[in-house]
Amino acid sequence: MISRPIPFYTTETFKKKFFSPENEANKMFVNDYERFLIAKFRDIRKIMKLPITHYRRPITEIVFITRGSITKGCNLSKVTVKSGEIHLWSANQIATVDNFSDDIEGFYCHFDLNYMFQYHPKYKVLEDLDEINKRTFYEGVNLSRSSFKIIYETFKRMNYLFKNELNHALISSYLISILLETKANFNETIIEKKTSRPTYITQRFKDLLFERIISHQSPSYYASLLHISENHLNKTLKVVTGKTTSTWIAEALILEAKVLLSNPENTVGMVAYYLNFQDQSYFTKYFKKHTQFTPSEYQNRLNNTK
Residues 178 and 39 in one domain: yes
Residues 205 and 136 in one domain: no
pLDDT of the residue at 3 = 60
Residues 28 and 67 in one domain: yes
pLDDT of the residue at 64 = 98
Is residue 1 domain-resident?
A: no
Is residue 5 domain-resident?
A: no
pLDDT of the residue at 61 = 95
pLDDT of the residue at 211 = 84
- 42-99 per-position pLDDT tens digit: 999 999 999 998 888 999 999 999 999 999 988 777 899 999 999 998 888 888 999 9
pLDDT of the residue at 305 = 62
pLDDT of the residue at 188 = 43
Query: Residue 245 sits in a domain of what CATH number?
Result: 1.10.10.60
DSSP for the chain, written as a single string: -PPPSS-B--HHHHHHHHB-SHHHHHHHS-SSTTTEEEEEHHHHHHHB-S-EEEEB-SSEEEEEEEESEEEEEETTEEEEEETTEEEEE-TT--EEEEEE-TT-EEEEEEE-HHHHHTTS-HHHHHHHHHHHHHHTSSS-EE--HHHHHHHHHHHHHHHHIIIII--HHHHHHHHHHHHHHHHTT--HHHHHHHSSHHHHHHHHHHHHHHHHTTT---HHHHHHHTTS-HHHHHHHHHHHHS--HHHHHHHHHHHHHHHHHTSTTS-HHHHHHHTT-S-HHHHHHHHHHHHSS-HHHHHHHHHHH-
Residue 198 burial by Cβ neighbours in a 10 Å radius (0-12, 13-18, 19+): middle
Domain end position, chosen among 143, 165, 187: 187
Residues 113 and 202 in one domain: no
Residues 49 and 89 in one domain: yes
Query: Residue 137 sits in a domain of what CATH number?
Result: 2.60.120.280
Taking 50 as the pLDDT cut, the residues of the chain under it are: 188-194
Residues 215 and 183 in one domain: no
Domain count, the chain: 2
pLDDT of the residue at 7 = 86
- 189-220 per-position pLDDT tens digit: 444 444 578 888 988 898 889 889 999 999 99
Domain end position, chosen among 148, 163, 187: 187
* Segments forming the whole domain that contains residue 271: 197-305
Residues 37 and 178 in one domain: yes
